[in-house]
């Protein structure tokens, strides 16, 4: 089991950990990870492990068996031994752009209130696929509405409900292609706005900014036809 420090504090850039195992493929498993593993359309984190005078560059992070998180080295290199104390250093600039894009996509699902059939997060852009038979009539109006929400600098917070509570509230799930992170007995919800003035609330295991103002201005790119009932809306992050 790996403790998911990134869910406790998405802004954590550096933290100590102990190596608990190696994988046959040459990955490293720690007892606690600030690195987010690929999932939910969000790429795995990269960074560096440091122990003594040695360093190991991490190219990406993936999920292992159970709750294990596997750090994948950028190239074949000596691994920190099992039991070693290491310092994990996150490539925070890359992660922070993922956080901005991810939160912006949650807001995109607000201004386009249709079922989501897929999505992907990158450092420069992201996209959501919607069950949308016809293209939006006024893309500029959608972009203006999205940026207006961002400019309100709304708080982004998390809460938890049980698996059973989610089962009786299926309307919370917007993304049809990705199952909510269930199975541990409770589900993490991401809220934009306050309980009294809530803009969005949905299950999500990814990392987000603390306030929407951190996203900065965004642009809507191409709206692509992805089948009879689906259209892909691309979102471009500013500087």
β-pairing, 14-22 with 125-131? unpaired
Per residue of the chain (239 residues), give pLDDT as tens.
Answer: 899 999 999 999 999 999 999 999 999 999 999 999 999 999 999 999 999 999 999 999 999 999 999 999 999 999 999 999 999 999 999 999 999 999 999 999 999 999 999 999 999 999 999 999 888 989 999 999 999 999 999 999 998 877 666 665 656 665 544 555 555 567 888 999 998 899 999 889 999 999 999 999 999 999 999 888 899 999 999 87
Report the C-alpha dihedral over residues 79, 80, 81, 82, rounded to 10 degrees. Answer: -110
The CA–CA distances, whole Å, from 199 to 4, 107, 133, 168, 210 equal 27, 8, 25, 21, 14
- Distance (Å, rounded) from C-alpha 194 to C-alpha 97? 24
Contact present, 56 and 28 (Cβ < 8 Å): yes
Q: Domains along the chain?
A: 3-90 (2.40.30.130), 95-237 (3.30.980.10)
Residues 6+ apart with CB under 8 A from 127: 105, 119, 120, 232, 233, 234, 235
Report the C-alpha dihedral over residues 100, 39, 4, 180, rounded to 10 degrees. Answer: 100
Other Cβ atoms within 10 Å of 90 Cβ, number: 25
Other Cβ atoms within 10 Å of 138 Cβ, number: 9
Contact present, 152 and 211 (Cβ < 8 Å): no
The string of DSSP codes covering 146-193 is HHHHHHTT-BEEEEEEEHHHHHT-GGG--BSSS--S-SSSEEEEEEEE
Tell if the pTM clears 0.85, that is, is over it.
yes
Q: For the chain, give percent helix, strand, coil, nearest 5.
A: 20, 40, 40
The position carrying tokens 């850039």 is 13
């Amino acid at each position: 089991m790996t403790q998911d420090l990134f869910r406790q504090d998405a802004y954590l850039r550096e933290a100590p950990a102990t190596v608990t195992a190696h994988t046959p493929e040459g990955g490293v498993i720690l007892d606690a990870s600030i690195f987010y593993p690929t999932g939910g359309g969000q790429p795995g984190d990269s960074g560096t492990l440091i122990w003594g005078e040695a360093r190991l560059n991490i190219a990406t992070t993936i999920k292992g068996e159970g709750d294990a998180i596997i750090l994948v080295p950028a190239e074949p290199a000596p691994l920190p031994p099992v039991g070693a104390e290491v310092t994990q250093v996150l490539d925070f600039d890359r992660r922070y752009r993922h956080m901005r894009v991810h939160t912006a996509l949650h807001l995109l699902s607000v201004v386009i209130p249709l079922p989501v059939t897929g999505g992907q997060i990158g450092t420069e852009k992201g996209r959501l696929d919607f069950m949308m038979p016809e293209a939006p009539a006024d893309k500029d109006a959608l972009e203006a509405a999205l940026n207006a929400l961002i400019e309100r600098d709304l708080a982004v917070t998390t809460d938890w409900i049980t698996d059973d509570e989610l089962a009786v509230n299926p309307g919370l799930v917007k993304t049809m292609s990705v199952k909510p992170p269930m199975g541990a007995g409770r589900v993490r919800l991401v809220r934009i706005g306050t309980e009294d003035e809530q803009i969005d609330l949905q299950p999500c295991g990814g990392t987000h900014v603390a306030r929407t103002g951190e996203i900065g201005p965004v642009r809507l790119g191409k709206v692509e036809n992805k089948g009879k009932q689906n259209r892909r809306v691309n979102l471009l992050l500013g500087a």
